[in-house]
Amino acid sequence: MNLNTVKDLKRPKSADEIRQWRDGYAWLAGGTWLFSEQQVHVDTLIDLHTLKWPALTAGKDGLEIAATCRIAELYDFKPPKEWRSGPVIGECCRSFLSSFKIWNEATVGGNLCMSLPASPMVSLVVALEGILTLWPRDGAPREVLATNFVTGNHQNVLAPGELLRSIRLPAEALSKNFAFRRSSLTHLGRSAVLLIGTRAPAGDVILTVTAATAHPVQLRFKGSPSEAELRDAIDSAVPDSLWFDDVHGSPAHRRHLTYHFGEEIRKELEA
Amino acid sequence: MSQARRDSELIGAAVPRPDALGKVTGAAKYPADLVRADMVQLKAVFANRAHARILSVETSAALAHPGVLAVFTAADVPYNRFGLIDDDQPLLCDDKVRFVGDRVALVAAETVEAAEAAAKLVHVEYEDLPIVSEVRAAMASDAPLVHADRENNVLGHIRIRKGDVEAAFASADVVIEEEFSTSWQEHAYLQPDAGIAYYEGEKLVVETAGQWLHEDRRQIAKMLQLAEDDVVIRYAKIGGAFGGREDLIVQPLLALATWKLKRPSALVWNREESIVGHQKRHPYFIRSKWAANKDGKIVAAQTELLADGGAYASTSIEVLKGATVGASGTYEIENVASDGYVVYTNNVPCGAFRGFGLPQAQFAAESMVTRLAVSLGMDPIEFRKRNMYREGSLTATQTPLPQGVSALSVLERCSAEMEARFRTNGTVSPVFKRGVGMASGIKNVGYSFGFPDQATATVELYGEKEIDRVVLRIGAAECGQGAHLVMRQVCAATLDLPLERIELIAEDSHESPNAGSASASRMTFMGGRAVKDAATAALAKFPGSDAKATVQFRSAETTPLEPETGKGFPHFNYGYVSQAVEVEVDTATGLVRVLRIISVHDVGRAINKQQVEGQIEGCLAQAVGYALTENFQCRDGRILTPHFSNYLLPTTLDMPTDVYPVIMELADPNGPFGARGVAEMALVPFAAAVANAIHAATGAWVTQVPFTPERVLAAIAKTRSVEAVTA
């Protein structure tokens, strides 16, 4: 839709050109959210495409994903075979309610910064132990663990004007075994729950719960938990108030699905 | 070319849609495409509260905003009431607001930006009133009144009595009771509400999308106190309607602004405004008690139906009549007692929607029929056959069905198709279970309950010895269903001419006669018959300088229902449908997927076979949404699902690839070339067919539409607990 309140479009070659941040500014990546409805408080768009960040950089240390990397670009990425969790990337890309336009324009960073419970890029980077690089407007870059980035429904740690530059997925996390479960009321629709489990060669298990909760919850186990241990860990980590409640599922249903898929993942990783 | 040959080429053929290319390439002009920047841009100010008294409307700040031309309020509307049946809805609210989508003011400005900014500056002072949001509470004698001039909130009560249900229950072998509920459904037409208005000479023209040119004109003329002839309604391309455009939506707002300012005006609603601002399918609460004997005969059906009509009457009372008459399904039952109520609340108003009350009523009826069959240990199809309407059957209203009762033939064909196509039924894994269910349905074609149904068409023939050109005039809305091509096909076949020679004028209330609404599955039957008769009459005058005929086709008369018994002749024509579906139920998550659908319809004669199949398949997509994903929610009058991100329409990926529309052609004696209607029928039994399939897969009966995973899981858990107790 037309954003009638926008008066200016900036196309910086470097993020440093935007030193002073003020109300009314908005970073523009894929525009999925910005152009979906009126943004009456926005008068200036700052286009990130002109920064020309390389979308994906794969190396022995892992995968660096630019915030401006499009979902379609990420989906096309072919991870090396030794990255046994590589297929999680495709699974998360397919966990979108996305039209052709969204698929080809929406960005990884945009989805992360929206910080919705069902944002599948949040699921991806949290499960694969990502580290986010943030560029404040008035200070040095800082790194944040993906588990700490999203703090609630539509809430995150970004300060006003702070820019998400990139996400690094460590090779160690990418090399783990994984199991993926998701439930949605419609095919390719918004997730009601999205769970990803990973298992290190030494046997340690990480279970990441997203979509079911207002922010991601990550459970870490030394070795493989028993069914009871897993359920206890879920109950301890997710208070009643954290289960998300919307038309895609009630808190009780989401808890039920989390138990169910968590147990399936536990068994699959044990096998 | 012989008449028979022309018929075979034109009638029943899959003649390509002439409007298809423009629609898929974007060349077609929908209402929003008509907007020009130099038009006055409008913005409606919504109430955004469910029930409140208006203390004051302050417009000075909005009027002072640069670019604002006017801010209209209730005082600007000469007759500030409208409605298809009851004039109970204000165009702009004066004393109070009754639902969140009520409009309080209309801002007119030089630009969209100015209109939107000024709309925020309209200050309305409200005194909140108690919200009536639940049907049973709304019926209480001490409930706050939604309309202060009424004695209570009950908008209508329909009562049907045939035989003696209590005596039948007392002697029956099996008696089953159950409660059902259904939710609202949003029409979700692709093209949100939009339009323009302008003056053409002395005539006020409103160009939008709708379903009935001449009724739109009547209501707008009445509101502005103009002669009907001074108002012209034109339809641009219409991006779907499904009953949702039967009521006026943005049309009178456009007319008001242009009438007051004498300038062209434009209004385009976004999706949220459209969802909040127009009426929905009624939610129903249904209590059923049915009985049968061991010989497989249904002996009694007792039903109470409570419908949430929302804040305004719309067509609620007619929908209720249809639902109450249809509550005993497609079956001849000796003892019937039905009470239907529709109630005002402060929820979104409800009105016409594909199926017109029957998807709700027959969800309950068809669920009960399958339950009785299961209780008696009978095959549900065989059980239906023993009770199904036949030629001469008496309905619940104690009158015979109109001639051409094909319900049994349709059921038998469905049974045969199931044998041929559905081979799996049972457990796929311990968690995923499959089942097949079926249901039958009946839906009237055309207007009912004494409201006269008539359609008028004019055919003009031009040429010396041969007909060179034909002008066909019929005011029939093309909502995407293909009515215009059907009218031309009927005309061409009647005149034995190539289709290209038929010029159609159908989208202008001044240039084409009144064919009635594109609703009630009636346009092919009624409009097509008027075209056929007009073409025949014109042909009789050809050659000649006045080879022209205007014919009004009138259906057989129907009657109102007697208040105490419901006795009467409600409908002059019916369509019959039987469906079978195969579902897969994830018993761990409650998720249900429809895998295959068979939908068998007696359409009388398929004028355009491809379009009939398209109607069935499109209707099934809407039915899948209704049964499974479209969970429209209101709380305290507020709409919780005003976006497509939370009101979940099925996409192509949610539709099964195996969809078999089966067309039977058992010619109707009155329809053009034998045609009946087909537009709504696929929605009528579908939810019940899915519910019955879920039962076949899991043993659980689901009673609340839509069948969300949580409801399915709860039903499965209830079944398991009953089994545990029984064991």
Interface predicted TM-score (ipTM) of this complex, two decimals? 0.91
Q: Do B589 and A38 touch (CB under 8 A)?
A: no
Structure tokens at B726: 């029984």
Confidence band, pLDDT 50/70/90 cuts, at residue B7: low
Q: Does residue A99 belong to the interface with chain B, where contact is any CB pair within 8 Å?
A: no
DSSP B76: G
Q: Do A249 and B710 touch (CB under 8 A)?
A: yes
Which chain A residue has the Cα nearest residue B591?
Answer: A185
Q: Do B646 and A5 touch (CB under 8 A)?
A: no
Q: Where are the domains of chain A?
A: 8-50, 56-172, 176-270
Which chain B residue has the Cα nearest residue A4?
Answer: B113
The shortest C-alpha distance from B309 to chain A (Å) reads: 23
Chain B interface disruption, residue of A37, A99, A185, most B CBs within 10 A:
A185
Confidence band, pLDDT 50/70/90 cuts, at residue B422: confident
CA distance B308 to B341: 9
Q: Which long-range contacts (CB under 8 A, 24 or more apart) does A41-45 make?
A: A41/A5, A42/A3, A42/A5, A42/A6, A43/A5, A43/A6, A43/A7, A43/A8, A44/A6, A44/A7, A44/A8, A44/A9, A44/A10, A45/A3, A45/A6, A45/A8, A45/A9, A45/A10
For B374-383, what is the mean pLDDT?
98
CA dihedral A89, A95, A99, A102 (to 10 degrees): -50
Contact list in B for residue A188 (CB cut-off 8 A) is: 651, 653
pLDDT tens figures, B169-206: 999 999 999 999 999 999 999 999 999 999 999 999 99
State which residues of chain A have pLDDT below 50. Answer: none
Q: Which pLDDT score is estimated for A39?
A: 86
Contact list in A for residue B654 (CB cut-off 8 A) is: 186-187
Residues 6+ away with beta carbon under 8 Å from A109:
A29, A48, A66, A67, A68, A69, A164, A167
Q: Do A185 and B708 touch (CB under 8 A)?
A: yes
Helical (H) or strand (E) element with A9:
strand A8-10
The shortest C-alpha distance from B434 to chain A (Å) reads: 18
The shortest C-alpha distance from A172 to chain B (Å) reads: 33
Contact list in A for residue B629 (CB cut-off 8 A) is: 185-186
Which chain B residue has the Cα nearest residue A40?
Answer: B117
The shortest C-alpha distance from B330 to chain A (Å) reads: 32
Q: Which pLDDT score is estimated for A113?
A: 98
For B122-146, what is the mean pLDDT?
98
Those of residues 204-263 in A touching chain B at CB distance below 8 A are: 246-250, 252-253, 256-257, 260
Contact list in A for residue B270 (CB cut-off 8 A) is: 1, 37
Q: Where are the domains of chain B?
A: 3-28+454-554, 35-129+190-240+245-277, 284-447+563-726
User: Among the CATH numbers 3.30.497.10, 1.10.30.50, 3.10.129.10, 3.90.1170.50, which is that of B35-129+190-240+245-277?
Assistant: 3.90.1170.50
User: Among B116, B589, B640, whose Cβ lies nearest the Cβ of A257?
Assistant: B589
Q: Do A4 and B589 touch (CB under 8 A)?
A: no
* Sign of the torsion angle spanned by Cα atoms B15, B18, B22, B28: negative
3-class SS at A89?
Answer: helix
Matching fold, domains B3-28+454-554 and B284-447+563-726: yes
What is the share, in percent, of chain B residues with pLDDT greater than 90? 95
Q: Does residue A198 belong to the interface with chain B, where contact is any CB pair within 8 Å?
A: no
Chain B interface disruption, residue of A2, A187, A245, most B CBs within 10 A:
A187
Q: Does residue A183 belong to the interface with chain B, where contact is any CB pair within 8 Å?
A: yes
Contact list in A for residue B585 (CB cut-off 8 A) is: none
Q: Do A247 and B648 touch (CB under 8 A)?
A: yes
Q: Which pLDDT score is estimated for B599?
A: 98
Which stretches of chain B sit within 8 Å of chain A by CB?
A: 112-113, 116, 270, 272, 588-591, 628-629, 631, 633, 640-641, 645-648, 650-651, 653-654, 708-710, 713
Q: Is the pLDDT of residue B3 over 90?
A: no
The shortest C-alpha distance from B580 to chain A (Å) reads: 22
CATH number 3.30.465.10 is the correct assignment for the domain at A56-172: yes
* Closest to B574 in 3D by CA, of B681, B414, B449: B681
pLDDT tens figures, B440-489: 999 999 999 999 999 999 999 999 999 999 999 999 999 999 999 999 99
The shortest C-alpha distance from A103 to chain B (Å) reads: 16
**H and E: helices and strands count for chain B:** 18, 26
Contact of A238 with A255, CB cutoff 8 Å? yes
The number of CA neighbours under 13 Å toward the Cβ of B225 is 6
Q: Is the pLDDT of residue B354 over 80?
A: yes
Q: Do B641 and A253 touch (CB under 8 A)?
A: no
User: Among the CATH numbers 3.30.390.50, 3.40.80.10, 3.40.190.290, 3.30.360.10, which is that of A176-270?
Assistant: 3.30.390.50
Q: Which pLDDT score is estimated for A97?
A: 79
Contact list in A for residue B647 (CB cut-off 8 A) is: 247
The shortest C-alpha distance from A224 to chain B (Å) reads: 23
Write phi, then psi, for B200 (nearest 5 degrees): -125, 100
The shortest C-alpha distance from B386 to chain A (Å) reads: 38
User: Among B116, B633, B650, whose Cβ lies nearest the Cβ of A186?
Assistant: B650
- Looking at CATH, the fold of the domain delimited by B3-28+454-554 is given as Aldehyde Oxidoreductase; domain 4 (3.30.365)
What are the CA-CA distances from residue B82 to residues B86, B148, B231, B249, B309 (Å)?
Answer: 7, 17, 16, 10, 16
User: Among A1, A5, A253, whose Cβ lies nearest the Cβ of B709?
Assistant: A253
Least confident interval from B8-12, B83-87, B283-287, B291-295: B8-12
Nearest 5 degrees, angle CA B172-CA B177-CA B179?
Answer: 160
Q: Which pLDDT score is estimated for A2?
A: 75
Confidence band, pLDDT 50/70/90 cuts, at residue B121: very high
Average confidence score pLDDT of chain B: 96
Chain A interface disruption, residue of B648, B657, B704, B711, most A CBs within 10 A:
B648
User: Among B272, B641, B653, whose Cβ lies nearest the Cβ of A247?
Assistant: B641
The shortest C-alpha distance from B583 to chain A (Å) reads: 15
The shortest C-alpha distance from B313 to chain A (Å) reads: 28
Confidence band, pLDDT 50/70/90 cuts, at residue B721: confident
Contact list in B for residue A256 (CB cut-off 8 A) is: 713
Q: Do B629 and A1 touch (CB under 8 A)?
A: no
pLDDT tens figures, B547-571: 999 999 999 999 999 999 999 999 9
Structure tokens at B682: 């696929």
pLDDT tens figures, B140-172: 999 999 999 999 999 999 999 999 999 999 999
CA dihedral B661, B666, B671, B672 (to 10 degrees): 80
Q: Do A187 and B651 touch (CB under 8 A)?
A: yes
Q: Does residue A191 belong to the interface with chain B, where contact is any CB pair within 8 Å?
A: no
User: Among B112, B591, B646, whose Cβ lies nearest the Cβ of A247?
Assistant: B646
CA distance A137 to B583: 55
Q: Do B653 and A1 touch (CB under 8 A)?
A: no
User: Among B640, B650, B654, whose Cβ lies nearest the Cβ of A247?
Assistant: B640
pLDDT tens figures, B602-658: 999 999 999 999 999 999 999 999 999 999 999 999 999 999 988 999 999 999 999
3-class SS at A22?
Answer: coil
For B57-64, what is the mean pLDDT?
98
Contact list in A for residue B633 (CB cut-off 8 A) is: 247
Tally C-beta pairs within 8 A across A and B. Answer: 54
Q: Do B713 and A256 touch (CB under 8 A)?
A: yes
Matching fold, domains A56-172 and A176-270: no
User: Among the CATH numbers 3.30.300.30, 3.40.1080.10, 3.30.365.10, 3.40.50.300, which is that of B284-447+563-726?
Assistant: 3.30.365.10
Q: Is the pLDDT of residue B724 over 80?
A: no
Write phi, then psi, for B472 (nearest 5 degrees): -110, 120
CA distance B110 to B513: 36
pTM over 0.90: yes
Q: Which pLDDT score is estimated for B4?
A: 56
